[in-house]
Amino acid sequence: MKRRGGLISWLVVGLLSAAPAVAGTRYNAFPGSTCLQSWGTSRPRYLAEGVSNQATNNEWLHLACPFSMSVGGKFFLSSASKLAADGSTCSASGSKPTVTFIDQNTTQNISCTLYVLGSGNAVLASFTVSSAGSDPNRQVRTFDMPAMDFTKKTLFAQCVIPPPDAGLRSTLLTFGVYSCDP
């Protein structure tokens, strides 16, 4: 039997060194299915792309949504980075974070608050959006975040989804976060 450890090692090293580490704007997508129920007895229904509330007792679904982001092609947050910034030097205001919903409740909206956390999880900034009424189509809402330093910071969201309305469920689909690495 031939030993192939050397070849496999070279392949792994080659793949790891091919990871992008260039400056510029990156889009980071996070499915709603990564969110976890934070409290209450409502029952989440996890889908491939998102999470919906399947409560039978008119209870809201409360979710905690952590975001795992790499910076500059690295997998830790010690390099310089900015959120909602653009350009080769990351100095221009760019695309702001978004969340996508399907809201099928005719009287209550889905809402999410995005937090920028610093050392010890101290809240440095927060931004809230809500769905715009019942609509079976996707609704994309933009967090009104200015370009800001993201070095050594993390993101976290809290969302609430209303109970089903006439058997129709509202769904939190995805978050989109743009970052820029100078």
| Residues facing 140 on adjacent strands | 100
Q: Please give the backbone phi and psi of residue 13, each rounded to the nearest 5 degrees, phi first.
A: -60, -40
**Residue 107 DSSP code:** S
Domains in the chain, please, with CATH? 22-181 (2.60.120)
- The two tokens of residue 172 are 């939190």
Over range 81-90, report the average pLDDT.
66
75 vs 25: which has the higher pLDDT: 25
Nearest to 35 by CA among 59, 67, 58, 60: 67
pLDDT-derived band of residue 6, with 50, 70 and 90 as boundaries?
A: very low
**Length of the chain counted residue by residue:** 182
Q: What is the pLDDT of residues 90-133, one digit of tens each?
A: 666 667 889 999 999 999 999 999 998 888 889 999 999 999 88
Q: What is the pLDDT of residues 13-23, one digit of tens each?
A: 333 333 344 55
